[in-house]
Chain A
Amino acid sequence: MSEGAAGRLQAVLDAIPYVRFLGMGAELAGDEMTAILPFKPSLVGNPMVPALHGGAVGAFMEMTALAQLSIVEPARRQPKTIDVTIEYLRPAREVTTYARADVRKLGRRIANVHVEAWQEARASPVAFLRGHFLLSLPLQAD
C-alpha cells in the first residue's frame, strides 16, 4: 500500500517539468511526506550572503503543498493555487532544504495547507508558507 503511494507520488513529481528544474524530490513514510531540495548552485539568489533565492524556497514550499495534496486526494487533477503567504525567517544556506506540509483543512473545493521549510535543524525553520488551493472535481473512474 505505502509502496503504491510512494510510486504515485514519484509519478506526480516526475510529470512536472518545474520539479525537475528545481531538482526537488520527496520521501514518504506512511502518509508523512518530506520534500527534499538538494543544494545546487543555480538555486542561489544572493551570492554575497550566500543564500538560496527566496523565490526558489517559496516555490519549493508551494510544490510541497501540491505534492501533499496529491497524496491526500490522489483521484483529482492538480489543484490550483489561490493564494500563498510566504514568511522568511532566515537565509536558506547552500545546503539541502527540507519541507513538510500540513493539510489543515480539506474542504469540498478548498484546501488550507501550511508548509514549513528547514535545513540542518527542524527547530530552526528557514521559511513558512500558508496557502489556499482550489481542488478540482474528482476524476471520472476509468
Chain B
Amino acid sequence: MVFDLKAATALAERMMRTPQVVALGFEFLGLEPSVAKVKAPYRADLVGDPATGVIAGGVVTTLLDHTCGLAIKAADSAYAASATLDLRIDYMRPAQPRRDILARAHCYKLTHTIAFLRAVAYEVDPDDPVATAQGVFVLSGAPPAGGSA
C-alpha cells in the first residue's frame, strides 16, 4: 500500500470534476489513508419523495459509490481506474429533509485487481447513519510494481 496524499488528492479532485458529480453539487472533504469523505449538499431538485422532502435514495447511491471510488485512490493512487462491480446499500432511515448528507468510505482491502470497501452516509454522526454500503470494485491500469497478489 502506497499513500501519497498529494498525488491521491490530485486524482480525487479530478474525479470530483466528472459531470454527474458536478451536476449533483458534491463537495470533496478530503482524504486520509484508505479513507475519503464527500458532502452532498441538500437541494430541492434532488428530492425523491415530494411528500416528505427527503433526498432521493439515488443521490445517496451515487454519493456512496463515488466516495468509494475516491477511497481507492486514498488506498493506492497507482491504479489508473476503478469500476464498480457490485454495491450493496442498506437504508437505516430516511435522510433528514433540508440537511446536507456526508459520506465516508474506507477501502479496507486491495488486491492486484479488486478493491473492497465499506461506506456510510450520515448528517452529523457516522454512528447514526442514513445508509451503509458494502462495495467491490475492479481495478485496471498498472498495479504497483512488486505489490503483493
Do these two chains interact? yes
Report A's interface with B, CB cutoff 8 A: 15-18, 20-22, 41-48, 52-56, 58-60, 62-63, 77-78, 80-88, 91
| Total chain B interface residues with beta-carbon distance under 8 A | 36
CB of A73 to closest CB in B, whole Å: 15
Query: Do B58 and A44 touch across chains, with their CB atoms under 8 A apart?
Result: no
The residue on B at minimum CB distance from A20 is: B45
Query: Do B86 and A86 touch across chains, with their CB atoms under 8 A apart?
Result: yes
The residue on B at minimum CB distance from A89 is: B85
Residues of the B chain whose Cβ atoms lie less than 8 Å from the Cβ of A63: 48, 56, 58
Which listed residue (B19, B46, B83, B86) contacts A18, Cβ 8 A?
A: B46
B41 within 8 A of A: no
Report B's interface with A, CB cutoff 8 A: 18-23, 44-51, 55-59, 61-66, 81, 83-91, 94
Given contacts A17-B45, A17-B46, contact A58 B81 (CB under 8 A): no
Query: Do B57 and A62 touch across chains, with their CB atoms under 8 A apart?
Result: yes
Query: Do B19 and A59 touch across chains, with their CB atoms under 8 A apart?
Result: no
Report the Cα distance A44→B17, complex, angstroms: 11
Query: Do B81 and A18 touch across chains, with their CB atoms under 8 A apart?
Result: no
Report the Cα distance A77→B62, complex, angstroms: 24
CB of B118 to closest CB in A, whole Å: 15
Q: Could you name 22 residue pairs across A and B whose Cβ atoms are closer than 8 Å? A: A16-B48, A16-B49, A17-B56, A18-B48, A41-B19, A42-B23, A43-B23, A45-B18, A53-B21, A53-B62, A54-B62, A54-B83, A54-B84, A56-B62, A58-B61, A77-B51, A81-B57, A82-B91, A83-B88, A84-B57, A85-B88, A86-B89
